[in-house]
Amino acid sequence: MNGSYKIPHFGLDRQYRNLSKELLDATHRVLSSGTYMDGHYTEQFENWLCMRTGYNYAVTLHSGTQALECIAHYEMFKNPYDFKPIARIPNITYVATLNAFLNAGFECEIADTDKNGLLIEEDIDWNKPKHNIFEVHVGLYGASPIYTIGALHKRRILDGAQHWLIHKNIYLDTTPMAVSFDPTKNLPSSGNGGAVLTNDDGLANFALKYRSNFKGEHTHSGTNSRMSEQDCAQILVRTRYIDDWQERRREIRNYYLDKFENLPIRCLSRNKNDHADQKFVIYTEWRDELYNYLWGYAIDVRIHYKQPLSNLEVARYLKKPDMISTSVMLCRGLLSLPIHPELTDGEVEFIADRVVDYFTESKLSF
């Protein structure tokens, strides 16, 4: 690699060069139709989401955050509690997960995670009212959340922004899921987008009204939160390639895993089957040193997330884990390597070799 070349963390510009004709054709069809919202392409994309995931209903909204907030508002609408319901949110996730429930009026608790950043469910506390606790599971970096089936004292909501492509609702699970089509996600919109996925016809009807300010009824407060026809038409182009992209991500992940087998790092996507490969994240005690080393070779590495939710000002007054909890300690060593499908084999090999070189040149004991 020459000194002026940078290996990007995301490959959207490369993806556009590969798909430009199809994306521009889709844009032309929408703009020439004169229907820019709530049309054929929105319906077609929502149908595709149902077929892909096994859910009965898919309702697109402007973002994954809006989708999650819509689900939270529905729970408040459906069950007018005498006291606020509680949302238990994992300490490692983007702040939007927390904000969605705060904005909907939930009482929020920041919960500790396991060593892979996944929520640790709360033990049954029979002093708390049944059905008043919501466990919010985040498929961090693309991992499939693990939760106990059948607990009666609480309910679950999935923030599927990173793992939804591997989530199959084959058992007609009642757990709703919010998904995101942010440009950084595996199936990206050219702007923004999200969806509520559910088997609850009540939630589906609520979401349809919520995203359009309960137009014609005005019985409840809603918002203006829709994906445009142009976004839906363009993302439908990308659905033709998503399986190939996912396979390429798996290839890159498995190559990294093999190359890093004997290094003093832990790969959070060690499970080779049950992962959407939204990110490839490692944990190492030498995170900051490795970060600087790789940037010295113009490799665009990132830290997701450098601080846990518990350290943010928005969580100042919330119940949260202490400073030596698993999640807080984990955030001190997380590093994300590029894994987008547009990477060349040479770039993948270069990234892996530089990681190996760092530990070899540092003469660390392992």
Whole-prediction pTM: 0.92
- Please report the pLDDT score of residue 184 as a whole number: 94
- Please report the pLDDT score of residue 366 as a whole number: 47
- Please report the pLDDT score of residue 3 as a whole number: 57
- Please report the pLDDT score of residue 220 as a whole number: 76
Nearest-angstrom CA–CA distance, 164 and 311: 27
List strand residue ranges (DSSP E) for the chain, in order: 57-61, 86-90, 107-111, 133-138, 154-159, 177-180, 194-198, 266-267, 280-283, 334-337
Reading the block at residue 90, the tokens are 């994992």
Domains and CATH numbers, the chain: 19-239 (3.40.640.10), 242-361 (3.90.1150.10)
pLDDT profile of the chain (366 residues), mean per 10: 79 96 96 94 97 95 96 87 85 96 94 94 62 89 78 78 86 83 95 95 94 80 89 97 97 96 90 83 96 97 95 93 93 97 97 96 63
Distances (CA, A) of 152 to 89, 124, 131, 148: 18, 9, 7, 10
Angle (CA) 183-184-189 rounded to 5° is 20
Q: For residue 305, is the peptide bond before it cis, meaning its omega torsion is within 30 degrees of 0?
A: yes
Which residue, among 268, 292, 299, 270, has the nearest Cα to 281 in the 3D structure?
A: 268
Reading the block at residue 317, the tokens are 């007054």
Nearest-angstrom CA–CA distance, 316 and 236: 41
